[in-house]
Amino acid sequence: MLRMHKNVLYSFVLAVLMSAFACQSSTTESTTVDETTPSETTTKQPINPIKQAIDSLSQVIANDPKNIDALIARGNAYIDNKNPAYARADADAAFFLDSTREDVLLLRGDVNYITNKTRMSRDMWERCGQLYPNNTECRMRIAELYLAIQDFESALKRLNEVLDIDERNPTALFMKGVVVRDRNGDTAMAMKYFQRAIDVRGGNYVEALDMMGVMLTRKGDPMAIQYFKNAIENAPNRDDLYHKLGLAYANEEEYNAALEAYEKALQLNPRNDEVHFNIGFINISLRNYDLAIENFNRSLDIREMNVKALYGRGFAYEMRGDVMNAARDYQSCLGMFPDYEPAQIGLERVQRMTQDDGIELPN
């Protein structure tokens, strides 16, 4: 999804809120509450700052319906509060008052994008770019739109326009890396753009760090580990980053470090079936077949149609010498996906073993 227009008139919103707080404070200071009143013991509801901003802005708009700054700020707040219908009303009202303001065109484009009216959103951002030749936000929005529909040529054109205006725009550098990778298959050049984006952001560009880690893991480069560590420093609550760090460690056969990363991922998201599967894979590598079976069972409890976990459990049974359960799991895999080659090969193995021993497999 496109990044929402977060930086519109925050000083204006802050001023409105401070004014509201001042009024509230002056009212409450003159009111005395007896220590035994029920209000002291009532559980306070958590404050929703977005709703609070919307309420304050609504007061301003009620007094001044043509206040475009307030309409734009409230429209963006409605987007953040996942209320696109109300955001559209504010965007349309602001557009009616001034159809040439860049922040109005940005907001109206955003609202149309999140409601799947992409043609209208493109038209708004194109108009913004025409009226404001040095505006990078409008062009970035269009580039993201084209990238989402995999029109790489159009996306690249807009990104180059942004970089002509600001060669150190980190988001444009990152997205150009994505285009170069997906359009040309040039991973080496893509990684140069990702690294440049990281450097411009002072090393704290999580999405680019994540992307570099993924690409280096695929290449079998141990530098992936450091990229994921750096990403985690900036986003410590993302379970997917710990999961990927575990994969990078596992690639280097640093199994204890991998297990530690996986366990952290599960603390953040206990229902990640892929992490349970990968722990099972490590336990197979360590010949801990009983533990591996437990891990695969947890993965299957979360996602029953997980053919990889089903195959992994079958393989663990086979390595443990339990050919009957191994055969059942391989057959179940083939029941889901008849062309699943690992299960075909596994079933052939256990069939040969049972034929030699005179054991009849289940049908």
Look at residue 203 and tell me whether its pLDDT is greater than 60: yes
Residues 12-61: pLDDT tens digits? 343 433 343 333 434 333 333 344 444 444 556 677 899 999 999 999 99
| Residue of 11 and 319 predicted with greater confidence | 319
- The reported pLDDT for the residue numbered 14 is 37
Region 73-83: what's the mean pLDDT? 95
Torsion of CA 142, 148, 151, 157, to 10 degrees: 30
Which residues neighbour 90 within 8 Å (Cβ) at sequence distance 6 or greater? 71, 72, 74, 75, 78, 107
Q: Residue 78 has what pLDDT?
A: 96
Q: Residue 46 has what pLDDT?
A: 73
pLDDT on residue 357: 63
For range 149-166, the mean pLDDT: 96
Q: What is the pLDDT of residues 301-316, one digit of tens each?
A: 999 999 999 999 999 9
Reported pTM: 0.80
Render pLDDT for 227-253 as a digit per residue (tens, 0 to 9).
999 999 999 999 999 999 999 999 999
- What's the whole-number average pLDDT of the chain? 88
Q: What percent of the chain has pLDDT over 70?
A: 85
Hunting for tokens 């490590």 — which residue is that? 282
The per-residue pLDDT for 353 is 85
Query: Using CA atoms, how far apart are residues 294 and 328, in angstroms rounded to an integer?
Result: 17
pLDDT per residue over 90-127, tens digit each?
999 999 999 999 999 999 999 999 999 999 999 999 99
Q: What is the pLDDT of residue 48?
A: 85
Angle between helices 118-131 and 136-148 (to 10 degrees): 150
Average pLDDT of the segment spanning 163-187: 96
Residue in 198, 260, 199, 209 with CA at minimum distance from that of residue 232? 209
Cα distance between residue 73 and residue 54, in whole Å: 8
Which value, to the nearest 10 degrees, does the dihedral of the CA atoms of residues 14, 17, 23, 25 take? -90
